[in-house]
Chains A and B, each alone.
Chain A
Amino acid sequence: MSLIEVDAVSKAFWIPSVHRETVREHLLGVFEPRRFERLQVLDGVSFDVRRGEGLGIMGRNGSGKSTLLKIVSGVYLPDRGRVSTRAAITPVLELGVGWNPELDAVDNVLLIGSVMGLTLKEIRASLDEILVFAELERFANLKLKHYSSGMSERLGYAVAFKAVREVLVLDEIFAVGDAGFKARCERRYRELRSLGHTAIIVSHDPRIIATFCERALLLDGGRVMVEGTARTVADQYVAMLTQASREVSSATSPS
């Protein structure tokens, strides 16, 4: 049975020729109409995610991967199409940004953990485990504004891996921390999958997709170009990049 069904989802952003963000700018520019350029980020994307599977999403920068994850996670609304979810989703998007810099690690874990759906009891019970996983026990009472971006991201993974409900949505997984931390993340990911959790992973790394997913999509220009086994899609992605690289080389090389 499909846990998530994405049906003909489209999303566009309107990019104005001039950004106006204040009442003053809008009033001053009332007689200077702006032009808007339509940026079609997703165009009729359809796929489904079955219980217990790992689905990879690949594509070049600007292909719509992150927007698609935000729509699947319920952060953005699609312009057209429909997303049906029959399971709780734990999104891990843009790690290291989703924290309050004025609070210490413990308070941020409580905040993010409860936003991700954990009860306070569950968070308190696993607080030490989260800090150990992130290797931040010594800095538990340090405000996050004093953390490096790597430390914040490690904390993000540690909370997310603890807060997983049924579906884990990961943007650029395993791109954080040193080799030891990456190995711990990969172990924890395998553990979650063996427990039956479903995962959606966005990555530029063919090895990640081929290793941690069974199935994958290749997005280009907001459309699904290829859907198939993770290995096939990873190979297609590499072929696409190679082709694009050749085109750039031939366009820039002197004749």
Chain B
Amino acid sequence: MTDGALRARLIPAGLVWTLVRTDFKARYHGTIGGFVWALLKPMSMFVVLMGVFSFLFASNPTYKLNLIVGLFLWDFFAEGTKSGLTSLHARGYLLTKARVPPWVLVVTSISNAVITLAVFSVVIAIFLVGASHPPTPAALAAFGAYCVAMMAIVIGFSLGASVLFLRYRDLNQVWEVVLQAGFFIAPIIYPLGILPERFHFYLYVWPPTPVIEFSRAALVAGVMPTTRGHLYLAGDAVFCLLAGMVIFRLLSPRAAEYV
């Protein structure tokens, strides 16, 4: 094998950077103003929901903080999975023209959601400090780990769904419906505690729930979830990632034929 052939099999950092950059430019028209619009969507939702529901949960002094943590993590999950689901189709013009590893197209498609999450993490930290709940380094580290778990879930979903979307072109609409229901299944606008405990297990099956609940516990309540809880989240993330990888491995070799 020649040097060129060996080089062609490596994933150059330049390719990853270009895919991230072009995705950002195409989505936000290459302007910071365009990106601000993306930030405004969950921010405006936060303002509206806080205005309405803070009356309902007036007795809960941390409701606003819990709401903002939940909303921002949900936004990452929803935007990341939506982008990931259509990623291979959206970049089909690359898939059918060159020998590019399809998984790179999928993974880099969630970069915008990751950038938004990073910005939101700063916003969350500002809110926490402003509300006299400055997060401890341990809480920040735990939050970082939960974000990584959420990323693994989003990547796993994206890998599996992106190849299925090439075969079933209305999966994005199906997923929109699931997300709409999922927004209310995850305890974002309501505290989990208002539901009978026997339902909690079922809510935790929905992957965003443990990430949101654990992040709130660490950042807002200052309480670390149990080891069992952490193991559940880690298992959940690994399962989603592996399931997505298996589906992707089975279907991606012929992905270009379905674009």
Contacts and interface: CB of A to CB of B under 8 A. Distances in A.
A74 B252 CA distance: 13
Contacts of A81: none
Given A73-B98, A98-B93, A117-B7, A22 B22 contact: no
A53 interface: no
A246 interface: no
Interface in B95-133: 95-100
A244 interface: no
Interface in A85-113: 85-89, 91, 93-94, 97-100, 102-103, 107, 110-112
A225 interface: no
Interface in B1-44: 1-2, 4-5, 7-8, 12, 14-15, 17-19, 21-22, 25-26
Contacts of A98: 93-94, 96-98
B259 to A, nearest CB: 10
Contact of B5 (A85, A93, A111): A85
A75 B98 contact: yes
Interface string A119-153: 11101000000000000000000000000000000
Nearest to B1: A86
B254 interface: yes
**Interface secondary structure of B, over-half rule:** helix
Contact of A99 (B1, B8, B93): B93
A107 B94 CA distance: 14
Chain B: interface residue count, which band? 20 to 34
A164 B145 CA distance: 43
A87 B4 contact: yes
B257 interface: yes
A112 B172 CA distance: 27
Interface in B54-104: 93-100
A94 B95 CA distance: 12
Contacts of A100: 22, 26, 93
B253 interface: yes
B14 A88 contact: no
A111 B254 contact: no
Contacts of B256: 70, 75-76
Contacts of B97: 75, 91, 93-94, 97-98, 115
Contacts of B94: 98, 111, 115
Nearest to A21: B169
Given A73-B99, A98-B94, A165 B4 contact: yes
B7 A103 contact: no
Query: Which 9 pairs, one residue from A and one from B, show the smallest C-beta to C-beta distance?
Result: A88-B4, A74-B99, A98-B97, A22-B170, A88-B8, A120-B14, A102-B26, A114-B18, A165-B4
